[in-house]
Structure 1
Amino acid sequence: MALSTLQRNLPVVLAINLLTFLSGKIIGGREAVPHSHPYIAYLWINTTEKTKKKCGGFLVHEDFVLTAAHCWRRSITVILGARDIDEQEMTQQVIPIRKAIPHPYFKRKSFNDIMLLQLEKKAKLNAEVSLLKLPSGHSQVTPGMVCSLAGWGCIDQNISTSKLHEVQLEIQKDKECLSHFKRPYDSTTKICVGNPKEKKYGLQGDSGSPLVSKNVAQGIVSYGKMEGTPPNIYTRISSFLCWIKTTMKLFKLQGQD
């Protein structure tokens, strides 16, 4: 980015980083190998707000993307197969959504932060665009396990990037999040992620992106402290398998695919 452009955008960048859910960070990570996360989705969100909102997500069916419910807006376009979101790459598939379906009991910043996006058309699966497996009902991540996260957030304070980055994050004991957050923490629907001794985390504009272990999605970036210090809270996907499968089946039966 040219200096003049950075200077013009600096007030916006600073404002974005003050709001928990309106920006994003992959801190302590590295640029991802091109298309090494073929399931990842970038959510292009049109909003009337002064600050630009962006989120991540991931493809779980040819015409469904899973993300965080707090990413909901009336106008969302999904971009699949991207490495650099500022470039018009031949691998990209740009698909508007037909329907946004947040969990019916979603409560902002606290409970059931999960949402399905039904695409206007099916994605074309290939080497750059593929599905990410959902966990089994008994699948669990445990403290000490290391999982991966990818997204297009900032790579340092006020330093943005258009290229996909990734980071390895350690699962924490529930007590770490119980002591770190004032709002309720329910271990049956949430995962505590990120070693507080390491400056490694994903947050905000990485909201909705998947926490992946052994090629299986285990969590969804939900929320964290305003300053971004780990640990952070992720939605536990295994707790919502019935809702995910039932919802996708329902919309297909209604003839909306």
Structure 2
Amino acid sequence: MTLGEIIGGWEAKPHSRPYMAYLDIRDGKNKSFCGGFLVSENFVLTAAHCNGSKITVYLGAHNIRLREWSQQKISVHRPIPHQQYDNKTLNNDIMLLQLAKKAKLNGDVGTIALPRANEIVKPGNWCSVAGWGRTSTESESTPARLREVNVMVMPDAKCPKDPYGPYNNYNSSTMMCVGDPNQCKDSSQGDSGGPLVCGETAQGIVSWGPCRGPGVYTRVSTFIPWIRATMRRLQP
């Protein structure tokens, strides 16, 4: 199961996605990374499977291997995975990260809008996804610079719940089916937690999927009440 890499994409224009976050995740001796996106000065939204014992967020990054002057490095004060997240089916794969301090919003660091509760993106719409994940299914190496690709929202039937197929755990109320299987363009390892951007809105979160698309994204609009309530409860 791949979890987030930009395949068939291109390098993003530097800082054209000021909401993008790079998550450096430590869990004991294990190191991993994910994407995420800034939804308010002190909250980043990502996938629940991107949790760890210590998470550091980098905002304003383009080349993640350089100490760019635009970068803001902020530790996570508290990760809040959805209480019904299931790590076997990856249902409810969504997590808020409360930052230890507020991000400084500027031309390189900004928030992205969230959809209205239960808003539906119709199949056939083009959206985009970005991340620092692998650029091919063959290669283990990851790019230093942010990459992006355009993907099409597919009907739920393209992620069929066949008990022997890769989409057996697909849940249309909490997930979106995205990316044409005939085109090798998708997100994969390392892009997990990044946003699916439709228009100016973060409609999905990179979650899971088989090697050849479509990919499965968390449907953000389903979780708007949870996001709003959680952020309200924790606002200082």
TM-score bucket of the superposed structures, by smaller chain: over 0.9
State the secondary structure of the residue aligned to 2:233.
Answer: helix
Relative distance call for 1:182 and 1:135 in structure 2 (3 A) is closer
Structure of higher RCO (CA pairs closer than 8 Å, 6+ residues apart): 2
TM-score (norm 1): 0.86
Partner residue of 1:41 out of 14, 18, 21: 21
Alignment of 1:1-257 (within 5 A): 20-21=2-3, 24-49=4-29, 52-108=31-87, 109-156=89-136, 157-158=138-139, 159-178=141-160, 181-225=166-210, 228-252=211-235, 257=236
Of all paired residues, the percent bearing the same amino acid is 48
Amino acid at match of 2:24: W
CA RMSD of aligned residues (A): 1.4
Matched-pair contact (CA < 8 Å) for 2:205–2:217: yes
State the secondary structure of the residue aligned to 1:45.
Answer: strand
Which runs of 5 or more residues in structure 1 are unaligned? Answer: 1-18
Matched-pair contact (CA < 8 Å) for 1:77–1:95: yes
- Tell me the alpha carbon deviations over residues 91-118 of structure 1, each in whole angstroms, 9 at most, x when there is no partner: 0000000000000000014310000000
Structure that is richer in helix per residue:
1
Equivalents in 2 of 1:72, 1:38: separation in Å? 22
* Structure 1 position 53, deviation (Å): 1.3
* Structure 1 position 165, deviation (Å): 0.1
Matched-pair contact (CA < 8 Å) for 1:190–1:234: yes
Equivalents in 2 of 1:60, 1:149: separation in Å? 16
TM-score (norm 2): 0.93
* Structure 1 position 49, deviation (Å): 4.7
Matched-pair contact (CA < 8 Å) for 2:134–2:189: no
Matched-pair contact (CA < 8 Å) for 1:81–1:129: yes
Which runs of 5 or more residues in structure 2 are unaligned? Answer: none
- Tell me the alpha carbon deviations over residues 43-100 of structure 1, each in whole angstroms, 9 at most, x when there is no partner: 01123355x4110000001000000000000100000000000000000000000000
